[in-house]
């Protein structure tokens, strides 16, 4: 599937990584971004688009993020949204 893979991403000038695993329309994996390393929860895939939630510790304390994006070839982009901000990200397949 086009979404599956490991991606090096950049969000607000900080580097991170998404490891995305696809099984049908379900998405799982791990992210390491914005000071948070967390397991993907409630992940879904629809074609080249994906959505998931993560909870983890950050320098600001415990946070929940909603992450939505899409994959176009080897490029990934989207937004990471918390209760107080939305941060765009982009990157490439590792």
* Most distant CA pair in the chain, distance: 35
* Structural domain containing residue 66: 5-93
Q: Give the integer Cα–Cα distance in Å for 21 and 56.
A: 19
Q: State pLDDT tens for residues 29-58.
A: 999 876 778 899 999 999 999 999 998 776
What is the pLDDT, as a whole number, of residue 84? 85
Q: State pLDDT tens for residues 66-84.
A: 999 999 999 999 999 988 8
Count of structural domains within the chain = 1
What is the pLDDT, as a whole number, of residue 1? 55
Mean pLDDT of the residues in the chain: 91
Q: Give the integer Cα–Cα distance in Å for 11 and 46.
A: 23
The separation between CA 56 and the C-alpha centre of its own chain, rounded to angstroms, equals 13
Q: State pLDDT tens for residues 56-66.
A: 776 777 888 89
- Name the pTM for this structure: 0.89
Q: Residue 13: give its domain's CATH number.
A: 2.40.160.90
């Amino acid at each position: 599937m086009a979404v599956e893979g490991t991606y090096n991403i950049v969000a607000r000038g900080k580097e991170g990584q998404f490891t995305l695993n696809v099984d049908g329309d379900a998405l799982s994996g791990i992210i390491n971004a914005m000071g948070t390393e967390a397991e993907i929860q409630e992940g879904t895939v629809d074609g080249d688009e994906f959505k998931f939630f993560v909870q983890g510790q950050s320098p600001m304390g415990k946070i929940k993020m909603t992450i939505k994006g899409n994959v176009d070839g080897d490029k990934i982009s989207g937004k990471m949204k918390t209760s107080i901000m939305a941060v765009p990200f982009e990157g490439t397949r590792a």
